[in-house]
Structure 1
Amino acid sequence: MREAASTQTSRQVAPSPPQQPIPFSHKMHAGNLQLQCKGCHPNPDPGEMMRIAPPSTCMACHSAIKTDSPAVQKLAAFAKEDREIRWARVYEIPAYVYFSHRAHSESGNTCAECHGQVAEREQLYREGDITMGGCMNCHREKKASLDCSYCHEPR
């Protein structure tokens, strides 16, 4: 487990990164190469979820870059067979919560506000607080709605 800086005076232990089917460095792609999040994470209608690009998107670069890498060769096999890679989820919002990545993005929020400093991470782990308390704190800071029905369907 890693230590993550906390907004409190003590330090918290962050969860270990989940094992992924293919190694992927966000530090290299988002950090060093400065690729934008939305290039690999499209947001199709209606905009609730960000997706992970198919292997064919990765191969736009990797058909010529690091082709001798076993990880890229595995990626190429997925692309050739038009198969989806089953990435391990780092963040998952409960089904009873309405959340729109598009609405949050369009209102000026950045990916880092919820997902942490992804561009500095070789492997991702749950860094941002996506609990109800974390969301409520952010809504208070940004003066967004605190009404229950804003994120939860009325029962």
Structure 2
Amino acid sequence: MPQIFSSRFVLFLKLAIVGMVLFLLGAVVLWRIVTSPLASVGAAIEQPVPFSHKHHVSDDGIDCRYCHTSVEKSSFAGIPSTEICMTCHSQLFTDAEVLAPVRASFRAKKPLRWKRVNDLPDFVYFNHSIHIHKGIGCVSCHGPVDEMPLTWRAKPLTMQWCLNCHRAPERFVRPREYVFDMNWKPKEEQLVLGKRLVEKYNIQSKTDCSTCHR
């Protein structure tokens, strides 16, 4: 039976198939890199209003809990409502163009669609209140938010990163009264203080899967 395709065409077809497979593998690898938690570390997230934590916290001295109202009693820290923003901005910078979306939201009674910067997958359970109750400071997970003109993710928030703390909480725990103090530094060696607080706050080194995956 005569050969239907020439050897050159067969070679070209094989190379095309190999090239397509390599292209698909490269696309998958690139997608995994781009969507990796590490890719978003340090990258400011575009928001409907360019909110500056540095201005509100460092310059004006506003406490985290004023805007994140449920952080001490709920699993979710809470995203400030437009009404909270307007508590101040009905009196301050009332004509600022940058705040036009806030005023429009307030008039229309439609919330601003803020984008979550530190967003965990749906299959991960995280509770803000228990971490605060056990003496884990905001800066441990969110970085120096008080110095961010625009907010970005400071930590990778991967499972391994979380486990590093869960396995040795004494390296991170602080007195509860300083949880919201972004500039707090221990007056003694952290491990000495941490071991004492771990016992005082009854902190358990929970690393089993059911702790976060429920």
Equivalents in 1 of 2:102, 2:87: separation in Å?
12
Gaps of 5+ in 2: 1-38, 171-204
Match of 1:96 among 123, 142, 151: 123
Relative to the length of structure 1, the TM-score reads: 0.83
Structure number with the bigger relative contact order (C-alpha 8 A, sep ≥ 6) is 1
Counterparts of 1:126-145 in structure 2 under 5 Å?
Answer: 126-142=153-169, 144-145=205-206
- Provide closer, same or farther for how the CA distance between residues 57 and 13 of structure 1 changes in structure 2, counting only shifts above 3 A: closer
Equivalents in 2 of 1:150, 1:121: separation in Å?
31
Counterparts of 1:13-92 in structure 2 under 5 Å?
Answer: 14-43=41-70, 47-92=74-119
Name the one with the larger helix percent: 2
- C-alpha displacement at 1:74, in angstroms? 2.4
- C-alpha displacement at 1:140, in angstroms? 1.8
The higher radius of gyration belongs to 2
Contact 2:68 2:77 in 1 (8 A): yes
Taking every aligned residue pair, what percent have the same amino acid on both sides?
Answer: 35
- Provide closer, same or farther for how the CA distance between residues 27 and 55 of structure 1 changes in structure 2, counting only shifts above 3 A: same
Relative to the length of structure 2, the TM-score reads: 0.61
Matched, 1:152 2:213: yes
Counterpart amino acid of 2:211? Y
- Provide closer, same or farther for how the CA distance between residues 117 and 93 of structure 1 changes in structure 2, counting only shifts above 3 A: same
Counterpart amino acid of 1:151? C
Contact 1:30 1:119 in 2 (8 A): yes
Gaps of 5+ in 1: 1-11
Count how many residue pairs are aligned between Structure 1 and Structure 2.
142
- C-alpha displacement at 1:97, in angstroms? 1.3
Please name the residue that 2:35 is paired with.
none
Contact 1:48 1:100 in 2 (8 A): yes
* Cα displacement string for residues 86-133 of structure 1 (whole angstroms, at most 9, x for unaligned residues): 112211111111110111111111111101000001011111231101
